[in-house]
Amino acid sequence: MHTASFRILSVKEMEEFGVRVGKALTAGDVVVLRGELGAGKTTFARGVGLALGIHEVTSPTFVISKIYPGATPLIHVDAYRLIGSDLALFDDLDLEARIPKSITLIEWGSGFAQRLEDEPINIAIDFGETVDERIVTVEGLDL
């Protein structure tokens, strides 16, 4: 599986990187976003949305899942509140039927995404050496 790392130096660059990734994704792709709180997962997701022509991507933390309609819909899931819970709660989101027509981003998705896709695309966002620096590692997607 192809793996590459990228150095991101600002919030703007993170959003632009999300646009780049969004242009490489296709309907049916499931992406697991990993990173600590405040690492930039939602900023990255906003960029993916922009690549799909969706301009209002926000954090789904309180609603767990948001579906943004478009030519290729975006499903944005924040599974943080489901960590340590019964996996049936994730299954209740009923994402399986929507996946073939959508791009699905799952924040805090380790352990959940594999219920939807055997080999999801994995994106890890790690803090760098400065306040704004991030190291983004992409596994399973050629950029």
pLDDT tens for residues 33-65? 999 989 999 999 999 999 999 998 987 666 677
Q: Average per-residue pLDDT in the chain? A: 85
| pLDDT, position 96 | 63
Least confident interval from 6-10, 36-40, 92-96: 92-96
**For position 65, what pLDDT does the model report?**
79
Whether residue 90 has pLDDT greater than 60: no
- Say how many domains are in the chain: 1
CATH number at residue 82: 3.40.50.300
pLDDT of residue 94: 58
In a domain, 136, yes or no: no
Report if residue 73 sits inside a domain. Answer: yes
> Tokens 């590692």 label which residue?
137
Residue 58 lies in a domain: yes
Q: How far apart are the first and last CA of the chain?
A: 13
CA distances from 88 to 3, 40, 55, 84 (A): 31, 28, 31, 11
Q: Is residue 20 part of a domain?
A: no
Neighbours of 65 (CB within 10 A): 18
Assigned domain for 18 exists: no
- Reported as a single tens digit per residue, the pLDDT across 126-138 is 999 999 999 999 9
Q: How far is CA 43 from the centre of its chain?
A: 10
Q: Which domain holds residue 95?
A: 27-128
Is residue 133 in a domain? no
What residues form DSSP beta bridges with 106?
32, 77
Reference 40, options 101, 114, 100, 127; nearest CA is 127
Whether residue 86 is contained in a domain is answered as yes
Q: Is residue 112 included in any domain, yes or no?
A: yes
Looking at residues 90-115, what average pLDDT do you find? 69
